[in-house]
Amino acid sequence: MLPRPRGGEGREGTLTLRSPLRVRCDDAWREDLEVFATDLAGAVGWTVRRVDDGEDCDIDARRDGGCGSEGYRVRVGERIDIAAGDAAGFSYALTALRQLGPAQLWSRTPSELATWTLDALDLVDAPSFAWRGVHLDVARHFFDVAAVRRLIDLLAAHRLNHLHLHLNDDQGWRVEVPAWPGLTTVGAWRSGSPVGHEHDDVRDDVAHGGFYNAADVAELVEHARRRHVRLIPEIDLPGHAQSLLAAYPQFGNTGAPLEVWTHWGISHHVLNVEAATLEFADEVVRYVAGLFPDSPVHIGGDECPSVQWERSAAARDVMDQRGFDDPRQLQGLFTERLTRSLLAEGRAVLAWDEVLDAEVIPGTTICAWRSARKGVEAAERGFDVIMAPMQHLYFDWLSSDGPEEPVAVAPWPYVTTWEKVYGVAVIPEGLHPAHHHHVRGAQAQLWTEYIDSVARLDYMAFPRLCAFSEVVWGTGGDVEEFRPRLEHHLRRLDAMGVAYRALDPARDR
Ligand code: ACM
């Protein structure tokens, strides 16, 4: 199984299941059963029937608060008994059962399965970390609703429970904001993209773009909710703003017309620090947050060059008024404004670790990406942390230093093998145990400068994401023990149609 459950042992005997499967479960878990039934029908054409107390059943699922949040127990004997702390735990128990069957149960094209035989066993399972996340940059390359729905399914199959959507960047704005239509009529489209590596300085003339409207977002939110995945919207300001400025140059520092950027990298065109701009940013972020009703909101904050502020008389005036001696402190005006208004609306707020360089409101959760050390620093300062260190968890980095790798974000030494991912420590080294409770979990990043299709996304994400899912579930251990389970798990990915990278392309050639 993958991720490996916390505990389990086999017993004598087997249980053979056939369609229709009769399942008794809590009324509140009806939706999870429907998802399971749809998946099973799609894979092997089986029927799942919900039965009442007292009737014969194949699976009997009961609520047991002792299992903890997202936790479950499974006992396979003369029938299957499930205990779960909540609906997520029930759904994870069903995922575990499917993993105990043939890979065919994961297929997206139906095939015949007469019987499904399980060995008798007991499993006890619960995650160590509540935030088991994946980040997807839909700004550099747009991924449509179908691609994101598919990724959500793949997360759920690995018991990952957060999908962070990076919704804007210099190269594209991806969510419609009706009050500011230019964000998508202009900002969602660029005239071309780099060909090969950005360093090669070659561009195509192929328009690229796309965006989600409110109905698209609602569809994604609902699809994710049914699979216990929470979507996290990110609007990244005040840097990474060139697509916004292409639509509304009045919010920039020069007023000069700009195009949506056709380079990869960090544009030095950033928002100005006038009151109207802060007001605009606040309005847009709150609107987008409203499309994701129960989600924490990520306000970006990474890589904001201050060169335009240094040259701007208006920005210098604001510095004087505020008594700032470093233009980077101006970024704190955005962080503070957006955080306060989101917190006032009852929303949790996340930001990249650069925000620690200026004013940060208590209660902000820090995504530590520049290094694990940034996570230590944030936790020691009393902030909750999501660990996203690029050295282990940036899946846009090369998967190996072999010649077969496609162009990736940077050449060697930016290499992260799946074995290296398996070795990541969610609790960063050097963090005093008194601060461990601040580490809410970890997140793998899929930046998409060099990921322009679902096939390439699969290649960069898998099998690294499999390794990550086990580490962040909290049951990672010895890579030699993991490897055969991973090899077996690849059959499930085959069934799901995932174009993963081979474990050892050099050996497999
Ligand atoms: C980042 O990679 N700029 C968060």
Ligand 1 atom closest to residue 303's alpha carbon, by position in its atom list: 3
Q: Find the mean pLDDT for residues 479-506.
A: 95
Q: Is the pLDDT of residue 388 over 90?
A: yes
Alpha helices in 87-195 (DSSP H): 87-100, 145-157, 182-185
Q: Which of 11-15, 203-207, 503-507 has the lowest mean pLDDT?
A: 503-507
| Nearest CA among 195, 234, 205 for reference residue 407 | 195
Report the pLDDT value the prediction gives residue 462, as an integer from 0 to 100: 98
Q: Tokens standing for 403?
A: 């010649």
Q: Find the mean pLDDT for residues 141-153.
A: 98
Q: Find the mean pLDDT for residues 282-310.
A: 97
Q: What percent of the chain has pLDDT over 70?
A: 99
Alpha helices in 361-463 (DSSP H): 372-380, 390-393, 418-422, 454-461
Q: pLDDT digits over 9-19, tens only?
A: 999 999 999 99
- Mode of pairing for the β-strands spanning 116-125 and 72-76: antiparallel
* Cβ(303)–Cβ(240) below 8 Å: yes
Is-catalytic flag, 169? Answer: yes
Q: Find the mean pLDDT for residues 206-228.
A: 98
Closest-CA residue, ligand 1 atom 3, reads 302
Report the pLDDT value the prediction gives residue 313, as an integer from 0 to 100: 96
Q: Find the mean pLDDT for residues 471-480.
A: 97
The domain defined by 131-508 folds into TIM Barrel (3.20.20)
Q: Say how far apart CA 332 and CA 309 lie, in whole Å.
A: 13
Pocket of ligand 1 (CB under 6 A): 302-303, 352, 369
Q: Is the pLDDT of residue 64 over 80?
A: yes
CATH of domain 7-125: 3.30.379.10
Q: pLDDT digits over 257-267, tens only?
A: 999 999 999 99
Report the pLDDT value the prediction gives residue 507, as an integer from 0 to 100: 62
| Nearest CA among 426, 460, 419, 461 for reference residue 442 | 426
Q: Is the pLDDT of residue 505 over 80?
A: no
Report the pLDDT value the prediction gives residue 299, as an integer from 0 to 100: 98
Report the pLDDT value the prediction gives residue 410, as an integer from 0 to 100: 73
Q: Is the pLDDT of residue 357 over 80?
A: yes
Q: Find the mean pLDDT for residues 192-209.
A: 96
Q: Find the mean pLDDT for residues 494-507.
A: 90
How far is the centre of ligand 1, averaged over its atoms, from the C-alpha of 395 (Å)?
12
Report the pLDDT value the prediction gives residue 411, as an integer from 0 to 100: 72
pLDDT band, very low/low/confident/very high, at 85 (cuts 50, 70, 90): very high
pLDDT band, very low/low/confident/very high, at 424 (cuts 50, 70, 90): very high
Closest-CA residue, ligand 1 atom 2, reads 369
Instruction: List for the chain the helix, strand, coil content (%; round to 5).
Output: 40, 20, 40
How far is the centre of ligand 1, averaged over its atoms, from the C-alpha of 329 (Å)?
19
Beta bridge partners of 368: 387
CA atoms within 13 A on the CB side of 375: 29
Is-catalytic flag, 135? Answer: no
Report the pLDDT value the prediction gives residue 359, as an integer from 0 to 100: 79
Q: Is the pLDDT of residue 506 over 80?
A: no
Q: Tokens standing for 351?
A: 């930001």
* Cβ(104)–Cβ(111) below 8 Å: yes
* Cβ(280)–Cβ(304) below 8 Å: no
Ligand 1 atom closest to residue 367's alpha carbon, by position in its atom list: 4
How far is the centre of ligand 1, averaged over its atoms, from the C-alpha of 83 (Å)?
40
Closest-CA residue, ligand 1 atom 1, reads 302
How far is the centre of ligand 1, averaged over its atoms, from the C-alpha of 298 (Å)?
12
Report the pLDDT value the prediction gives residue 247, as an integer from 0 to 100: 98
Q: Tokens standing for 20?
A: 């229709």
Task: Check: pTM over 0.85? Answer yes or no.
Answer: yes
**Active-site annotation holder among 81, 122, 282, 303:** 303
Is-catalytic flag, 240? Answer: yes
How far is the centre of ligand 1, averaged over its atoms, from the C-alpha of 115 (Å)?
48
pLDDT band, very low/low/confident/very high, at 307 (cuts 50, 70, 90): very high
Q: Say how far apart CA 66 and CA 96 lie, in whole Å.
A: 19
Q: Find the mean pLDDT for residues 245-252.
A: 98
C-alpha triplet 229, 123, 51: angle, nearest 5°? 70
Q: Tell me the domain boundaries of the chain.
A: 7-125, 131-508
